[in-house]
Structure 1
């Protein structure tokens, strides 16, 4: 299991990789561009090459994350065009970094209904992936179900993947906080969740885990991350993922609220203790 955290790339990808090692991480996540914007990013190929080589040397797993403001289910032609071009670019950047996957949030139907939203999301994914042949998978992340978000359950995510023309280019990123807030797992229903993941073949396409406690209660449909053991999920429930043989090969990335990235060093160490390591 490669336990790590989210790292800023404001100083470059290569420095971000170095920071990850300094913090004791064996995986890390970066944003491909400003998370609240869609402006194209000029890729520094030398930085990407140095960073990718450094990650290979230090056996670091990289997870990329696309900006928040895209919408795979939008009916707005302008936002749709921006979403497609932005995520295409994100995949190319993620590939240059050697990332195992580029995480994207599922679509929001914005009042047009789940059926329309799902159909539109599949169409958008097909358009994005049509000409993409890189090694990085596009990872659909389960949602907390805020507003009109789609993709809360394992079953729905698998349906979306099956409906696309390019399922081989799509994987999943599982967020513990989102799933708890969506009401699909808690301490008592953990084994039922893993059974569903197994039965639907979701596990075969799971590439990364976002490891977060939740400020909001179970089933609240509110996406509010908290530090491990300080939220509504609790350390005992989250420990189940760390100990489960199904997830030992995956990057497990913290996205918990910190004032400074240095705080992640202690939290990474805490996760190793929870897991039963040093």
Structure 2
């Protein structure tokens, strides 16, 4: 089953996100756990969450992807910012237990001139404090574009973080096509080589989700600028190879392109057509 969806707003409620996903042709979706630029969390509504769970079963949905807000920086130089990220991520994971089986994606963060080694140490410390035995959520490290002092633009850095986590069985990776393209991985001309490199360094068993985006910038730009599918430097041919690659077709794809719902609907229809006619 080809699983694809877009980013939707939790402000309308869980069940409404499911219905919006269906309306645009999706069978999964991604959402921010709270305000992406702040810290406020929607009031707990178990009835709404249970209704979404039932709706997902009825419409044969794939796994949902919750995204941590951009304000979290678990490897910040300031202790209060690290504490905020840790506490907020802990609260997010506790909330997600009410709708089990989801994935939780976060940006590893920026070390802010402390150095990669110190940043990774802080990220590992955070994960070792917030993960707990028996949890029903898989936590994903997102591969980044390498903007500024971001950690996680190299597969080696992702592997080092996972290696330091005690409860590794709850850890996975989300690859963003725009990010790895701008991070310097040639997914346009050497997709097989990039997949093999990821498998050698991290392990394909850790790859749980793909953010499917085109890029406004050429390979290696390290700027993180998403573009609509087929309108950027990655291009539709390379994206078609990604969604039909035999080592990736079992994964859920989540669009983060600069679109409104109608734009997502067109992209989902186009990608479904590519997969169905391969």
| Same fold (TM > 0.5) | yes
- Identify the residue that residue 76 of structure 1 maps to in structure 2: 78
Q: Is 2:265 the counterpart of 1:242?
A: no
The structural deviation recorded for 1:45 is 1.1
Work out the number of aligned pairs and report it. Answer: 276
Deviations 1:14-58 (A, max 9, x none): 110011111110121111111111234422111111111211221
Deviations 1:214-250 (A, max 9, x none): 0112100011111110001101111111111111221
Q: Is the 8 A contact 1:88 1:132 kept in 2?
A: no
Q: Distance in 1 between matches of 2:47 and 2:81?
A: 32
Q: Distance in 2 between matches of 1:271 and 1:93?
A: 32
- Identify the residue that residue 97 of structure 2 maps to in structure 1: 95
The structural deviation recorded for 1:207 is 1.2
Q: Is the 8 A contact 2:74 2:81 kept in 1?
A: no
Q: Is 2:271 the counterpart of 1:271?
A: yes
- Identify the residue that residue 224 of structure 1 maps to in structure 2: 225
Q: Where has structure 1 moved over 6 Å in runs of 4 or more?
A: none
Q: Is the 8 A contact 1:71 1:83 kept in 2?
A: yes
Q: Distance in 2 between matches of 1:56 and 1:157?
A: 33
Q: Is the 8 A contact 1:5 1:28 kept in 2?
A: yes
Q: Distance in 1 between matches of 2:81 and 2:163?
A: 25
Deviations 1:123-143 (A, max 9, x none): 1111121x4642111110000
Unaligned runs of 5+ in 1: none
Q: Distance in 1 between matches of 2:156 and 2:58?
A: 37
Aligned ranges 1:119-134 → 2 under 5 Å: 119-129=121-131, 131=132, 133-134=134-135
- Identify the residue that residue 110 of structure 1 maps to in structure 2: 112
Q: Distance in 1 between matches of 2:30 and 2:267?
A: 15
- Identify the residue that residue 193 of structure 1 maps to in structure 2: 194
SS of residue paired to 1:237: helix
Over aligned residue pairs, what C-alpha RMSD do you find? Answer: 1.6
- Identify the residue that residue 180 of structure 2 maps to in structure 1: 179
Unaligned runs of 5+ in 2: none
Deviations 1:252-274 (A, max 9, x none): 0111001x212211110111122
Task: Provide TM-score, normalisation by structure 2.
Answer: 0.94
Q: Is the 8 A contact 2:155 2:202 kept in 1?
A: no
Deviations 1:157-208 (A, max 9, x none): 1221011112111111110000001002231121111111222352101111
Deviations 1:46-82 (A, max 9, x none): 1111111211221212111110110121231211111
Q: Distance in 2 between matches of 1:52 and 1:114?
A: 40
Q: Distance in 2 between matches of 1:14 and 1:240?
A: 33
Q: Distance in 2 between matches of 1:27 and 1:132?
A: 26
